[in-house]
Amino acid sequence: MTDPQHAKYIAAIDQGTTSTRCVIVDRDGQVRSSAQFEHRQIMPQQGWVEHDPLEIWNNTRRAMSVALADVDLAAADIAAVGVTNQRETAVVWEKDTGKPIHNAIVWQDTRTTRLCERLAGEEGFRRWQERTGLLINSYPAGPKIAWILGHVEGARARAERGELLAGTIDTWLIWNMTGGAEGDRGDVARHVTDVTNASRTLLMDLQTLTWDEELCEAVGVPRQLLPEIRASVDEFGVVRQRGTLAGVPIRGVLGDQQAAMFGQGCFTEGTAKNTYGTGLFLLLNTGEQVRISGHGLLSTVCYQVAGEKPVYALEGSVAMGGSLVQWLRDSLQLIPNAPAIENLAREAGDNGGVYIVPAFSGLFAPRWRSDARGVIVGLTRFADRRHLCRAVLEATAFQTREVVEAMVADSGVELQALKVDGGMVSNELAMQIQADVLGAEIARPDNIETTALGAAFAAGYGVGYWSSLAELAAQCEVDKRWQPEMDRAERERLYAEWNRAVERSYDWER
């Protein structure tokens, strides 16, 4: 095993929805090397999204090798490796051969909707919210595992005989990294997950952090299929693949949004981050208390260090974030590329009374209105594409404010500043609008690769490469801050108009 005092770097695997990366960072948290490979999005029918688990595993191996080779490093130079992953994506495979019995069912896939409606029953989708922190809908991984067992011939019987293993992508990768089914090493392979990933299955009790027998039974997932649950900063075995990170211990595992919290240094109660990607993902650290939301948010494990109490978070996501910018570009063709939205919106000066409510498939947190559909309101002869561009950036900011208000109401914690990351934060006007609409400071870090950084932080902290969470938080340097410039009356007037616009989107789909 490598000695953390002499090894110079930490590695992180960032297994995302569209690609897999391996990133190597130094003691200052600076990225020294990065290798990335995309994988196929398999869509057998409307609403179904699958990935090939073997393709993802191969990409992970290649990314590990290339990231090392590019900067002439060997595994001995790496003190530890962390893993972060797309959450809620489920894989079932054969213990003896390592062959998946079905493609991975991806988090966005809606095929379990009907099963989830049955599980929710008369009590409704909040039935298990106290126990799991989650709402019963198509996202969690547990029902996806049950779907595979129910649809692959003989799978349920094989699962009960102990011939199969299941898990989220972290579990699949770690099992393979630690030896997989290869020859006599089969017994060495670790079948493990961390608390943050386990908290997205609908099968884990959020208080005890153990698999809940009753839930496993109700959902239809035999307990022996499931991995051992460990803390996020913990021991997950040692990499065994030659030519990659052989001999390096896996010491940190976090779901992608929790990794972004870790990479943003959100370690204390009341700290929050918003990731502006395709969708928006907001998390607020609520400390050692589970806060069950009365406003349509999820409760989840933020992270846990082995031997310490878990830290929890409230989470709210918005389906249409950067994807609304893409819609303006691809479907309406009003802008040639995403960055072009900034100057056009700036030229508009204000929204000219125009609001876009992107309820393209209903409204999610915190409103949960499946009857809503998208609307553009306030159009006059005066409005042009510049106002629509402005309205798109404002819609992102207003939706964020709605989730933040729900978090404040649920937690009683007042938000002082919001840390931001994701592709859209390069848009400076969008960040100013966000500060104005929220009435709070917006802080963008130097390194916006917060997900990979978070996994590296967790692993490095696990082996003592970094000695404290405070030291890690100090590494999160802020590149730019935006303060609210709008006066309070104007902020509230705009928000009230937004709320009127949202009401216009209701009661459309019947």
Residue ranges binding ligand ADP (CB under 6 A): 277-278, 322-323, 325-326, 338-339, 341-342, 422-424, 426-427
178 with 237: CB under 8 angstroms? yes
How is residue 48 written in tokens? Answer: 């179904």
Q: Which is nearer to ligand ADP, 341 or 437 (CB)?
A: 341
Strand residue runs (E) in 272-354: 272-276, 280-287, 298-303, 311-318
Rounded CA separation 462/53 (Å): 27
Q: Which is nearer to ligand ADP, 301 or 424 (CB)?
A: 424
Residue matched to tokens 């999820």: 298
Strand residue runs (E) in 116-259: 164-168, 192-194, 204-205, 210-211, 228-230, 250-255
Q: Which is nearer to ligand ADP, 397 or 501 (CB)?
A: 397
Q: In the 8-state DSSP scheme, what is residue 486?
A: S
Q: Which is nearer to ligand ADP, 42 or 152 (CB)?
A: 42
- Report the nearest approach of ligand ADP to the CB of residue 331 (Å): 12
- Report the nearest approach of ligand ADP to the CB of residue 154 (Å): 37
HSE-up of residue 225 (Cα within 13 Å, Cβ side) = 29
192 with 169: CB under 8 angstroms? no
- Report the nearest approach of ligand ADP to the CB of residue 323 (Å): 5
Q: Which is nearer to ligand ADP, 170 or 449 (CB)?
A: 449
Q: Which is nearer to ligand ADP, 110 or 326 (CB)?
A: 326
**Residue closest to ligand ADP (Cβ):** 423
Rounded CA separation 122/133 (Å): 19
Q: Which is nearer to ligand ADP, 446 or 471 (CB)?
A: 446
Q: Which is nearer to ligand ADP, 83 or 324 (CB)?
A: 324
- Report the nearest approach of ligand ADP to the CB of residue 322 (Å): 2
How distant is the alpha carbon of residue 397 from its chain centre?
19
- Report the nearest approach of ligand ADP to the CB of residue 453 (Å): 14
Distances (CA, A) of 139 to 49, 201, 348: 12, 8, 38
- Report the nearest approach of ligand ADP to the CB of residue 396 (Å): 8
- Report the nearest approach of ligand ADP to the CB of residue 324 (Å): 8
Residue matched to tokens 């100013």: 432
- Report the nearest approach of ligand ADP to the CB of residue 425 (Å): 8
- Report the nearest approach of ligand ADP to the CB of residue 191 (Å): 29
Distances (CA, A) of 298 to 85, 413, 464: 19, 16, 32
- Report the nearest approach of ligand ADP to the CB of residue 329 (Å): 7
Q: Which is nearer to ligand ADP, 177 or 391 (CB)?
A: 391
Q: Which is nearer to ligand ADP, 78 or 324 (CB)?
A: 324
* C-beta atoms surrounding 317 within 10 Å: 20
DSSP labels for 385-435? HHHHHHHHHHHHHHHHHHHHHHHHHHH-PPP-EEEEESGGGG-HHHHHHHH
**How buried is 136 (Cβ within 10 angstroms: 0-12 exposed, 13-18 middle, 19+ buried)?**
buried
Rounded CA separation 45/111 (Å): 10
- Report the nearest approach of ligand ADP to the CB of residue 339 (Å): 4
Strands 104-105 and 50-51: antiparallel
- Report the nearest approach of ligand ADP to the CB of residue 61 (Å): 22
Distances (CA, A) of 315 to 179, 297, 500: 35, 6, 25
Rounded CA separation 24/1 (Å): 18
* C-beta atoms surrounding 124 within 10 Å: 11
How distant is the alpha carbon of residue 221 from its chain centre?
24
Q: Which is nearer to ligand ADP, 108 or 241 (CB)?
A: 108
- Report the nearest approach of ligand ADP to the CB of residue 418 (Å): 16
> Which contiguous run of DSSP H or E holds residue 166?
strand 164-168
Q: Which is nearer to ligand ADP, 345 or 443 (CB)?
A: 345
Q: Which is nearer to ligand ADP, 218 or 448 (CB)?
A: 448
How is residue 298 written in tokens? Answer: 């999820």
HSE-up of residue 494 (Cα within 13 Å, Cβ side) = 25
CA-based nearest residue to 354, from 322, 318, 405, 398? 398
Residue matched to tokens 């054969």: 94
